[in-house]
Structure 1
C-alpha cells in the first residue's frame, strides 16, 4: 500500500522535469559545495550553494551556479565565516533555490569533498518541498585521493590539505562557489591520475 502511494505521489513540476533527464547518461560533471549553518543535517540549513560544470576534462566557467538563500534568522558569526552578509545582495527562498539548483544539475555526475553531507543537506530541502532524493551518481575527491594513494578510508584529508598537495591556491575558500572551483581543480588532477 505504501509503495503505491509513493509511485502516485504528485511531485512538484521541477522534480518531474528533473526525473525525465535520466533517460540518458550525461558526460557532464557538476562540482558543487554548500555553505551551511552547521554540520547537523536535521537542524542546520543551507546558506548558499555554488557549483561549476566540467565537460571534456575542462572546467566550463559559463556553466556555473551561485545562489544565496534568504534566511529567517541572521547569525552574524556564521555569516562572517562564510562571507554571507546581511546586505542587499540578492537572496531567494529555499524552495526557489532548490528548484533552480535541481534544474541546473540535470543528470550530471556530482563531485564534491565529503559530498554525502552536501547531498544530504540538499535532500533535506527536497523533502520539505515534497520532492524525492537526488538521483545523480556522485564522486568524492577525498575517496578518490585515498584510492590513488592506496590509503585506508578512515584516513581523512581536509580540502585545504588536498589543495596543498596539488599546489592549488586556497584564496577563495569558505564560499560555496570558491570551494566548488577548488574542488573542480582537485578532481581533474585526481581523474587524470586515476585514469577515469
Structure 2
C-alpha cells in the first residue's frame, strides 16, 4: 500500500495517519450567549516571509489561550515551519528568524495539524486579523487541503470600538499596549506578540462587559455597526 494518499485534483499528499488527524479536527463552535469570560479564545500571531498574502509564506506560529477570563500560560503554542529554499530577506530583520532555524523547522503538514488541534473549536483573536486569517487559510489549503472556517476577531477593531475616548482609530499594537501601560518583552516574535495581544484583549473584554457587550453575538453586532458607519463616512 502506498505511504501516501492523495486528495482529488492537485491537493497535497498526506499519510493515512495525517488524513485521520485531519478528519478528526474540530468544527468551529457556534456563537452563543456565553459571556466573554466563559468563552475560550486562541490568540494568534504569525511571522511571515513578507506581506504579500498571495506569495509569501508563514514561517512561525505563536498562540496562547484565553479561558475563564484569564491567559492560560500552561497552554501555549510555538512553532517554526520548515521552508525549503528560504533565504534571508528584508523581513528577516524584523522577525529575526534565521534561515537555519527555518531549515530545521517542523514540516508544514505536521506543524499546521498540530496548530489546528491546539485551536480545537475556538474562535481566534489577532491584531490586524485579516492578514493572519488570510495567510493561515492559504497555508492550510496548500499543505492540508483544509478550508479554514473558524471565526476571527480583530483586536485592532475591538479596541477603538470599546475605547473611543483613546482616539487611536488607526493605531498599531505598540500604540495600544503603551496606552494601557502594558510591558511587552519582545516584539515581532510570534509568541511574544500573541501574549501581548491576549493581555490587550483581556482589558478590552473587561471594557466591553461594562458596555453590555458581554458575548460574541453582541460584540459582533456592534463591530458590524461600526464598520457600516465607517464605510458611510468615507
**Following superposition of structure 1 onto structure 2, how do residues 71-86 of structure 1 map, counting pairs within 5 Å?**
71-72=83-84, 73-75=86-88, 77-86=90-99
CA distance in 1, matches of 2:145, 2:199: 32
Seen in structure 2, the aligned counterparts of structure 1 residues 71 and 130 have a Cα distance that, compared at 3 Å, is closer
TM-score (norm 2): 0.71
CA distance in 1, matches of 2:155, 2:169: 13
Deviations, residues 131-189 of structure 1 (Å, cap 9, x unaligned): 332222222111111211348xx931101111111111232110000000000000000
Deviations, residues 55-98 of structure 1 (Å, cap 9, x unaligned): 11111111100000112212154334212124468511222211
1:93 to 83, 91, 107: 107
TM-score (norm 1): 0.84
Gaps of 5+ in 1: 6-10
1:58 to 46, 50, 70: 70
Matched, 1:132 2:146: yes
2:49 to 37, 42, 46: 37
Deviation of 1:38 (Å): 1.1
Higher Cα Rg, which structure: 2
CA distance in 1, matches of 2:31, 2:160: 30
Matched, 1:167 2:202: no
Give me the CA root mean square deviation: 2.6
CA distance in 2, matches of 1:144, 1:23: 20
Look up the match of 2:60. Answer: 48
Following superposition, which runs of at least 4 residues in structure 1 exceed 6 angstroms of deviation? 23-26
CA distance in 2, matches of 1:115, 1:167: 22
Q: How many pairs were matched up?
A: 185
Look up the match of 2:135. Answer: 121
Gaps of 5+ in 2: 1-7, 9-13, 33-37, 215-234
SS at match of 2:175: helix
Look up the match of 2:229. Answer: none
Look up the match of 1:8. Answer: none
CA contact (8 A) 1:126 1:133 kept: yes
CA contact (8 A) 1:37 1:44 kept: yes
SS at match of 1:156: coil
SS at match of 2:91: helix
